[in-house]
Amino acid sequence: MIWVLFAGLAALTVIIMLDPLRRSEAVAADRIASAVTVHVDQLREIDKDAERGLISTEEAKAAKVEIERRLIALERTKSTTGHFETGGRGALWLSALMVPLIAGALYIQLGSPRIPGVPFADRKEERVEEAQIAELTGRLLERLQGDPEGGQTEGWMLLGQTYMRMGEYADAASAMENVIGRDDATSAILSQYAQALVATENGIVSPKARTAIRRARELDPTNPAATFYEAIALDQAGGSEQAHDLLVARLEQAAGPEPWMELFVAQANRIGEAIGREPVSVATFISATDAPPKPTREDLAAASEMSVEDRAAFIRSMVDGLANRLAEDPDDLDGWLSLGNAYRVLGETDKARQAFETAEALAKNLALDDPRKRSIREALSNLGG
């Protein structure tokens, strides 16, 4: 029924668009025909006046020449107008017919026609929950602002994270700004503050955000979030090669499979494509590590000497272990991203799609420019989901 409705609306739109064209064509034709009739009648009247002697022969001849000149001009106008109107009508007809068809094809390809609609009345629980969150957020802000000691660091960070989930990035950055100068400000706090600033600027790393990123890396050089945003800042400043090297170097430093590796690989490949670098994959870095959380050089050497079968068994055991952990902790977004990518490496498309769909549901409240959202969309697109 929905497609029948869409088709009916498209047909109605075409009719509304083309009806004025049809009317204007008829009006123009009638106007020219009427003018020709009037000039022919004038020629007859001139002949009658000349026969009755009301005008001289020279006057009659001059008047007829003028009227004939006007008739020729009308014929030319009719021919030219018809030519241009035919071309214009063709373009309009083509546009009116093709636009609905193209729009429908794009919607089928990019839209979600099979997702059922949710009536406004059925969203009552969702609206109530949103109202409660807004109310609690307002109370937390009042309590923090009313604290003579400036409010607890954890409280301000909780407030900022809540604002981030609500999509109010400027408020999130403002809340976190209250604690970034404190002695207990950690690298994670600074990188979250930088993320809020980047989201506020629609993905642009401002000088303020760059300063926070550098401080975060100084406190913890291994902070993946700080490294990720530093790479984005370098790329935006024209240092794409440095950005790519930074991402790959951090991937190589990973002691084992990490939930952020998928994002690093996606960003490295986007930058690498622009500068002519070979693409990298998570499988490359996963297969270079062994089961212990922090393998020694000897462990890595042994892993590199594994047979294809042993390496496959190792990866399978790691993937199964991650799947079991997520069964107990299903809210781990980064874990589902890692699991989906692992299944994709193993060629298990259905399981990979299910993992990324679970991640997509968990990522619905993330910032629009969060790279994880883009990674999920790209993965589902490649997997046909």
- Position 152 pLDDT exceeds 80: yes
- Position 21 pLDDT exceeds 60: no
Amino acid at 74: L
Amino acid at 342: A
286 vs 303, more confident: 286
Which SS3 state, helix, strand or coil, does residue 119 take? coil
Q: 291-323: per-residue pLDDT in tens?
A: 334 344 454 455 455 555 665 665 667 777 788
Q: Is 47 exposed, middle or buried (0-12, 13-18, 19+ CB in 10 A)?
A: exposed
- How far the first Cα of the chain sits from its last, in Å, is 24
Q: How many CB atoms lie within 10 A of CB 183?
A: 5
Q: What is the mean pLDDT of residues 163-178?
A: 91
23 vs 148, more confident: 148
Instruction: Read off the pLDDT band of 90 (50, 70, 90).
Output: low
What pLDDT was estimated at residue 195? 92
What pLDDT was estimated at residue 32? 64
Residue 196 φ/ψ, nearest 5 degrees: -65, -40
**Helix axis angle, 224-236 relative to 240-253, nearest 10°?**
160
Q: Cα separation of 113 and 3, whole Å?
A: 9
Q: Cα separation of 294 and 182, whole Å?
A: 32
Instruction: Read off the pLDDT band of 329 (50, 70, 90).
Output: confident
CA dist list (Å): 170 to 79, 134, 176, 200, 223:
63, 16, 10, 6, 23
Instruction: Please tell us whether the domain made up of 238-385 is placed in CATH 1.10.1330.
Output: no
pLDDT mean across residues, the chain: 77
What pLDDT was estimated at residue 193? 94
Closest CA to 257 of 342, 363, 331: 342
* DSSP secondary structure letters along 253-286: H-SS--TTHHHHHHHHHHHHHHHTPPP--HHHHH
Q: 189-229: per-residue pLDDT in tens?
A: 999 999 999 999 988 999 999 999 999 999 999 899 999 99
* DSSP secondary structure letters along 73-93: HHHHHHHHHHHHHHHHHHHHH
Which residues of the chain form beta strands (DSSP E)?
Answer: none
- What architecture does CATH give domain 147-235? Alpha Horseshoe (1.25)
What pLDDT was estimated at residue 300? 47
DSSP 118: -
Q: 34-88: per-residue pLDDT in tens?
A: 666 776 777 777 777 777 777 777 777 777 777 777 777 767 665 555 544 555 5
Instruction: Read off the pLDDT band of 349 (50, 70, 90).
Output: confident
**pTM for this model (two decimals):** 0.48
- Look at the block and give the residue holding tokens 């193209």: 102
* DSSP secondary structure letters along 27-38: HHHHHHHHHHHH
Among the ranges 5-14, 194-203, 325-334, which has the highest mean pLDDT value?
A: 194-203
How many helices and strands (H and E) does the chain possess?
16, 0
* DSSP secondary structure letters along 27-68: HHHHHHHHHHHHHHHHHHHHHHHHHHTSS-HHHHHHHHHHHH
Closest CA to 17 of 84, 88, 113: 88
Q: Cα separation of 334 and 127, whole Å?
A: 28
CB 366 within 8 A of CB 335: no
- Position 100 pLDDT exceeds 70: no
Q: Cα separation of 302 and 296, whole Å?
A: 10
CB 180 within 8 A of CB 193: yes
DSSP 89: H
Q: Cα separation of 176 and 285, whole Å?
A: 34
Q: What is the mean pLDDT of residues 238-265?
A: 88
Q: Cα separation of 99 and 102, whole Å?
A: 5
The fraction of the chain above a pLDDT of 90, given in percent, is 24
What does the block give as tokens for 296? 């020694």
Q: Cα separation of 134 and 157, whole Å?
A: 16
Q: What is the mean pLDDT of residues 328-342?
A: 84
